[in-house]
Amino acid sequence: MDAADIDFRPLSAPVSRETIRAAKVAALAGELGKSTQRQAKIDSGSCALIIGFACAGLGFVAMATVSVVLWAHVASGGGPAIFLSSVCTIAALLLAYSLYRLFLNVYAPPQWAHAARLLAFGRANGFDVIPRADASRAPGQLRRHQNMGTSWVADEVRWTQRGRAARTGVYHSYDARGGRGSSRAVIRYLSIDIDGGPQDRIFQMVAGIKAPIEQSHAAHGPKWVNVLPTKKPRLTCPPDGVSHVRAYFTDEVIEALTRLRANAHFVSGRLIAYRAAGDSLDPNLWKQMMSLVDAVDAIVPPQNV
């Protein structure tokens, strides 16, 4: 399929309640992946969640109050209640952890009207759409950028353009610790397969914007860093890859990346571009991504890479 053949009308078309209901039914049936199915079950069981939150919250308050009273009793020399105080403290901590896990399960559920439009766009063009997926489905071996957080992929879309596999999605990583240590990353990625592309080397382009990019070798997993804005695109590559980097970052690829406002690297036989999330229903964003696929399709890989 060529970019000129794409039907963008479903991205802005109004959706009926029946269409939204059909998207939920498909999600509950497991047709949109396990993560979307799980989120749909949570969304449809909102009453049970409210009861769960209320019970866990009341239990936490009760255990915390009893624990404070007992520890105050022990501190005043009122008797050997250390064991009971410890049990109540542990129970309060467990209930607090349960509240935290419940929060993570309901954090940022799919917006069904948004998902229905994206699904209609996918059906109209033969794309595979997953409204919510596990972070392990993202390319580049994405993983949690904080150990204490959670991560997922939203609006994952896969398609074939000019015979070349491409996929995009929005990677979310959230750290709920709070305070100075808390952080959140929301990143759109676009992965495009390359015929005969570099397998072990990383060729990077920083496109003059502040955005997370992967800095480390693929074998060691990614390391997220924030790069400062630059006045013009900057290419980096291993010392032995200088003769090859311009073969991949052609003028057309650099121009497409700059329009997309994305950083990118070539690794493991694909180009992976990263940028701010943007709106998955924005036709201009889709046109920019598809122009990048066209630019990558025109690359002629050098020999002996």
- Whether the pLDDT of residue 290 is over 90: the answer is yes
Q: Which residue has the higher pLDDT, 144 or 221?
A: 144
Average pLDDT value for residue range 86-91: 78
Domains of the chain: which residue ranges? 8-126, 127-297
Q: Check residue 138 and give its pLDDT.
A: 66
Q: Check residue 78 and give its pLDDT.
A: 60
Tens of pLDDT along 13-49? 888 888 888 887 887 777 777 777 776 766 665 556 6
Average pLDDT value for residue range 186-208: 67
pTM of the model: 0.66
Strands ordered across the beta sheet of 270-276: 128-134, 149-161, 164-175, 183-193, 270-276, 263-267, 203-206, 234-236
